[in-house]
Amino acid sequence: MSAPSTPDPVKQVVSLISRGKDLIAVAESELSREYGRIDFMSRLIPFDRTTYYHAEMGEPLIRRFVTFEKLVDPERLPEVKRWTDGLESRHRDGEGKRTVNCDPGYIALDHLILATNKKYSHRPYLRSGVYADVTLVYKRKSFQPLEWTYPDYGSQEIIELMNRLRERYRVQLRTGATSVITE
């Protein structure tokens, strides 16, 4: 029989999608006030693998990934999702449409988990209306997409980015060292 174990802390990651870099910067500032110093910001990446958000947010859309210096308990993911849902709500336009989309999740050594409010067969329920989406799994020395992985997360560019973030997380987990990096 196995004994219960405490999970390692994880690297919190948030994907920010918007039409403008100024809106992303505002969201970054709010996230930093809530979760502490941002230790990684990706370059602005065209969000062009799907038209899913176009009706609500317009186009063209851009994305930036951010991570935070402090490692966190993975059990916090539902609270983080609720908070980022509130951030999105605070930044709706005059018609009630979102101007920024925040997708929180975390990187662990074995996988990338995203939080979602949408139920589906591969998404185990956590609590507070939040489900865990196992988006990428780490095997054969790289993150690998799954049959349900969103096309953008399955792209070589995002997988390479997540591999680099995983390596930074692995070092941080082992040594406690942190550093601020922008892409």
Taking the C-alpha atoms of residue 169 and residue 165, their distance in angstroms, rounded to an integer, is 6
Assign 84 to helix, strand or coil.
Answer: helix
Task: Report how many domains make up the chain.
Answer: 1
Q: What is the pTM of this model?
A: 0.93
Q: Which residues pair with 113 in a beta bridge?
A: 106, 134
Q: What pLDDT was estimated at residue 179? A: 56
Domain contains 182: no
pLDDT tens-place values along the chain, 183 residues long? 888 889 999 999 999 999 999 999 999 999 999 999 999 999 999 999 888 889 999 999 999 999 999 999 999 999 999 999 999 999 999 999 999 999 999 999 999 999 999 999 999 999 999 999 999 999 999 999 999 999 999 999 999 999 999 999 999 999 876 655 555
- Containing structural domain, residue 35: 11-174
Domain contains 96: yes
Assign 131 to helix, strand or coil.
Answer: strand
User: Which residue type does 22 have?
Assistant: D
Domain contains 181: no
